[in-house]
Amino acid sequence: MTEERPVGGEQATDLDPENVADAPPAGDPAGDVPVGGEQATENSETDAETVADSPLDGAELERQLAERTNDLQRLQAEFVNYKRRVERDRDLIRENATYAALAPITEVLDTIDRAREHGDLDAGFQTVADQLERVVAGLGLIKFGAPGEAFDPTIHEALSHIGEDPEVEVTTCKVVAKAGYRIGSRVVRAAQVLVVDPPSGPTA
């Protein structure tokens, strides 16, 4: 009777227990790292470096915020200054245009004043004169200069000195030949006046 052996028995018998202990686990005959393990490790290291570089700490965020805030404040200040310059230039242009338009009209106003000095104006002329004076006043033209005012060379033009007057303490406008006109603080035409001086010595 022939003795039967289990299939593969000889191969199983030849296996050394020590070799069995050192053998790689089933399904991993080469004993290698599972597929994708090395790539996953490299990706993890790259991600770690990216995470270490990309986030900003609190101090850096505060610094950048301070820079942006300063930039915004500077731009805002520049805009405010620009707006003020534009408004100032616009006002100056308007004032110059008004000055150029009204300066010749002062001669017409002088004619009206001289006509009034000779008596009442007739009804038609009076109406035109009143309307013209209202219009120029609405445009900012202001009349000044009257007898008894202290002489001011910035707004008065002295045509002549007509002596001394014991009743005055400073050089004073005695006669107004032509009234002065101004727009705001800007003199369109100085008042043309005759002046008197205070006594130069003690009175008798």
Q: Does any domain span residue 89?
A: yes
Same domain assignment for residues 74 and 153 = no
pLDDT of residue 62: 87
Average pLDDT value for residue range 92-113: 91
Q: What is the pLDDT of residue 52?
A: 47
Same domain, 112 and 181: yes
Tell me how far CA of residue 67 lies from CA of 71, 78, 157, in angstroms.
6, 16, 59
Give the mean model confidence (pLDDT) for residues 37-50: 52
What pLDDT is recorded for position 75? 92
Phi, psi of 166 (to 5 degrees): -65, -10
Q: Residue 67 and residue 73: Cα distance in Å, rounded? A: 10
pLDDT of residue 129: 92
pLDDT of 118 strictly over 90: no
Q: What is the domain count for the chain?
A: 2
Residue where one domain finishes, among candidates 42, 69, 102? 102
**pLDDT given for residue 94 in this prediction:** 87
Which of 6-20, 125-139, 188-202 has the weakest average pLDDT? Answer: 6-20
Domain range holding 90? Answer: 57-102
DSSP assignment, residue 150?
B
Quick one: 137 and 190 in the same domain?
yes
State the pLDDT confidence band at 83, using cuts at 50, 70 and 90: very high
Q: Do 112 and 179 fall into the same domain?
A: yes
Q: For the whole model, what pTM was predicted?
A: 0.58
Q: What percent of the chain has pLDDT over 70?
A: 71
- Alpha-carbon distance of 135 to 129, in angstroms, equals 10
Residue 123 and residue 176 share a domain: yes
Asked if residue 114 and residue 187 are part of one domain, the reply reads: yes
Does 145 reside within a domain? Answer: yes
